[in-house]
């Protein structure tokens, strides 16, 4: 009697040799497909964020963590498929084993689809709603704030797979063995199915290559010629267009010039870069409103010139700002049929400047230019300033 009530040791014979191998192959195939799906859809969602925001780029440690998470989750989900197939055998020693096997398959498939639904839901809502939102600047860092949750999910799924199986069979050795195999498969999947994010990063870089090169050139020039070193965060922000830190940077630069106090050389250089790359400040008023001008007003540049010696580095860079402003105002309108011949920034300039250069700004810029060219003190450094072209309102 006790022999009938005692649980049997799980074995290939109890499962059935053919069913055992079908479960192994199906589970391994499922793990590979799920891992590839996770990784490629992550890159697809990263691509979609570029339609309305800056490309979301994972740090190396963050990327490595997510690669292992997706690989481990795919592995334990593949194990779910394997055990569910094993539990379809009709070899029952006890009457209640049949019920337990049905219960185990139900629990396994419930957990399997619940996890996939959760990943699909968060994997779509977060990139589209949060990461794709203009101004998003990684305020919600899942890696730093919820890393433990990502570690626990594969562990819980693994434990759930074996929980009810242990009501039917004694399986301690199989649990330990499967745990080791899952580790091996996780490392294998991480190596073979992970997608190199540099592929998409390079495509995005090509889109703004001239802008990024200009930033690097000016940062290098500041270090070599002026001994100024910008911190890494400032440089990263210069290479963003829609993030909160980027828009705040543009606003703060404009504000620095409007206070009537001396601005430092590094601030002057940053303002020049912002104008050249047509960085946004996230604000828009009425069409052709003076408030739409995102950068230091020409009169504020002229006031800054009065603070410095005509031959100083500051004066030289301030004249460069005036030149960049004139070039920006003179941006020609690009017909949409010619878009493929121009960079993304040139197109943005052409479209944006059409509604952001009011008559007051043109007049102010023209007065500053004439003032500099008529002043003997500034004639030599301002004689090459281009003329302003008249634009239709």
98-102, Cβ contacts within 8 angstroms, sequence gap of 24 or more: 100/164, 100/167, 100/168, 101/168
What is the tens place of the pLDDT at every residue in 9-29? Answer: 888 888 889 999 999 999 999
Of the candidates 358, 357, 382, the residue with the CA atom closest to the CA atom of residue 369: 382
As a whole number of angstroms, the distance between CA 66 and CA 151 comes to 10
What is the tens place of the pLDDT at every residue in 160-198? Answer: 888 878 888 888 889 999 999 999 999 999 999 999 989
Residue 60 has pLDDT above 60, yes or no: yes
How many other CB atoms are found less than 10 A from the CB of residue 31? 28
Residue 70 has pLDDT above 80, yes or no: yes
What is the tens place of the pLDDT at every residue in 338-376? Answer: 888 888 888 888 887 776 677 788 888 999 989 888 888
Contact assessment for residue 50 and residue 204, using Cβ atoms and an 8 Å cutoff:
yes
Of the candidates 222, 274, 209, the residue with the CA atom closest to the CA atom of residue 248: 274
Percent of the chain with pLDDT over 90: 41
Model confidence band, residue 3 (pLDDT cutoffs 50, 70, 90): very low
Helix axes 359-374, 313-329, angle to 10 degrees: 140
Residues 6+ away with beta carbon under 8 Å from 93: 4, 8
Give CA angle at 154 (148, 158), nearest 5°: 135
Which ranges of 51-163 would DSSP assign to H, the alpha helix?
A: 60-86, 96-125, 142-163
Residue recorded with tokens 């009697």: 1
Give CA angle at 228 (227, 231), nearest 5°: 140
Which ranges of the chain would DSSP assign to H, the alpha helix?
A: 2-5, 12-15, 17-49, 60-86, 96-125, 142-163, 165-168, 172-193, 198-207, 209-226, 232-238, 244-258, 265-276, 298-305, 313-329, 344-353, 359-374, 376-382
As a whole number of angstroms, the distance between CA 56 and CA 137 comes to 9
């Amino acid at each position: 009697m006790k022999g009938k009530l005692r649980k049997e040791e799980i074995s290939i014979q109890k499962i059935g040799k053919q069913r055992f191998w079908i479960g192994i192959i199906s589970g391994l195939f499922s793990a590979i497909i799920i891992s590839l799906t996770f990784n490629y859809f992550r890159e697809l969602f990263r691509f979609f964020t570029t339609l309305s925001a800056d490309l979301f780029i994972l740090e190396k440690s963050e990327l490595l963590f997510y690669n292992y998470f997706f690989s481990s989750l795919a592995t334990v989900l593949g194990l779910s498929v394997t055990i569910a197939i094993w539990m379809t055998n009709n070899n029952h020693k006890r009457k209640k084993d049949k019920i337990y096997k049905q219960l185990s398959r139900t629990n396994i498939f419930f957990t399997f689809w619940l996890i996939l639904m959760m990943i699909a839901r968060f994997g779509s809502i977060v990139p589209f709603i949060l990461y794709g939102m203009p101004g998003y600047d990684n305020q919600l860092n899942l890696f730093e704030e919820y890393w433990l949750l990502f570690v626990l999910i594969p562990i819980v799924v693994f434990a759930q797979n074996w929980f009810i199986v242990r009501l039917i069979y004694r399986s301690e050795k199989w649990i330990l063995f499967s745990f080791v195999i899952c580790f091996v498969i996780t490392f294998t999947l991480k190596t073979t199915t992970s997608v190199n994010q540099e592929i998409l990063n390079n495509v995005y870089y090509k889109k703004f290559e001239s802008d990024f090169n200009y930033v690097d050139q000016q940062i290098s020039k500041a270090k070599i010629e002026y001994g100024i070193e910008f911190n890494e965060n400032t440089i990263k922000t210069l290479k963003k267009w829609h993030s909160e830190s980027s828009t705040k940077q543009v606003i703060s630069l404009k504000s620095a010039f409007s206070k009537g106090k001396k601005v430092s050389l590094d601030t002057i250089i940053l303002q020049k870069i912002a104008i050249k790359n047509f960085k946004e400040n996230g604000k828009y008023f009425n069409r052709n409103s003076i408030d739409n001008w995102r950068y230091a007003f020409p009169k504020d540049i002229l006031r800054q010139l009065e603070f410095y010696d005509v031959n100083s580095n500051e004066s030289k860079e301030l004249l460069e700002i005036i030149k960049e402003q004139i070039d920006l105002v003179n941006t020609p309108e690009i017909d949409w049929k010619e878009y493929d011949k121009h960079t993304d920034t040139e197109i943005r300039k052409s479209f944006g400047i059409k509604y952001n250069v009011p008559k007051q700004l043109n007049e102010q810029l023209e007065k500053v230019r004439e003032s500099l060219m008529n002043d003997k003190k500034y004639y030599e450094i301002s004689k090459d300033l281009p003329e302003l072209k008249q634009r239709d309102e």
